Chains A and B, each alone.
Chain A
Amino acid sequence: GAVVSQHPSRVICKSGTSVKIECRSLDFQATTMFWYRQFPKQSLMLMATSNEGSKATYEQGVEKDKFLINHASLTLSTLTVTSAHPEDSSFYICSARDATANTEAFFGQGTRLTVV
């Protein structure tokens, strides 16, 4: 199946700093990518939908200025957590759907962010 690579897998940062997470579709073109957040022992909550070459669409309650999303190419989307605080600590997962095959979504391995 198709591969989505997410990097880094784990990151620890100091409060007030920014962290960038990358999501790449390795063998297909992803017109649309999705960013999810998962708290311990909870489900995946959709944060935003990222469209190549345009602004991301954020879900209600997600701060656009805190969670900056860029989708500059058909294979790369980035999520930047700006001015991180301990409450931003979570598991972040990206997903991409193949633009030519409208079925399953492929998921990255996830990024465990810890803000200290």
Chain B
Amino acid sequence: AQSVTQLGSHVSVSEGALVLLRCNYSSSVPPYLFWYVQYPNQGLQLLLKYTSAATLVKGINGFEAEFKKSETSFHLTKPSAHMSDAAEYFCAVSDAQAGTALIFGKGTTLSVSS
């Protein structure tokens, strides 16, 4: 079985500060890992994904994440927060099979203050 734990349900940063959202996973098979962003009453937008290639993954809007197998982590970072980054962020895990659903963490709400 696969699972994801997102540490911190709410993270607050100042505009221009580093953003760090934590995600740890559990998987009995090599995982695929994803970060999605969700704005109120909208669907999910993919920020980035890890699919067993490079361990440092760069995504959209300046976000990146590093897959660390030894720590079973896939933390999301952004060097400088913008007000527009305020949203809900979900980490998700799946295996490589096309017929497998993504399993989501509980989400982290990111607040950005000016």
Contact = CB atoms under 8 A, between A and B. Distances in A.
Interface of A: 1, 6, 31-32, 34, 36, 41-44, 46, 49, 51, 91, 93, 95, 97-99, 101-110, 112
A32 B98 contact: yes
15 contacts: A31-B99, A36-B104, A43-B104, A43-B106, A44-B44, A44-B104, A49-B99, A97-B98, A97-B99, A99-B98, A102-B97, A103-B51, A105-B34, A107-B44, A109-B43
B41 A32 contact: no
Contacts, number: 60
Interface string B23-40: 000000000101010000
A103 B52 CA distance: 10
Contact of A6 (B36, B43, B99, B106): B43
A67 to B, nearest CB: 15
Given A44-B104, A104-B46, A91 B41 contact: yes
A98 B51 CA distance: 15
Given A43-B107, A102-B96, A110-B41, A34 B51 contact: no
Contacts of B51: 103
A97 B36 CA distance: 15
Contacts of B42: 109-110
Interface string B84-101: 000000100010111111
A46 B101 contact: yes
B101 A31 contact: no
A6 B106 CA distance: 23
A51 B98 CA distance: 11
A109 to B, nearest CB: 4
Contacts of B36: 107
Given A98-B98, A102-B98, A46 B103 contact: yes
Contact of B49 (A36, A42, A104, A107): A104
A31 B105 CA distance: 25
Contacts of B90: 43-44
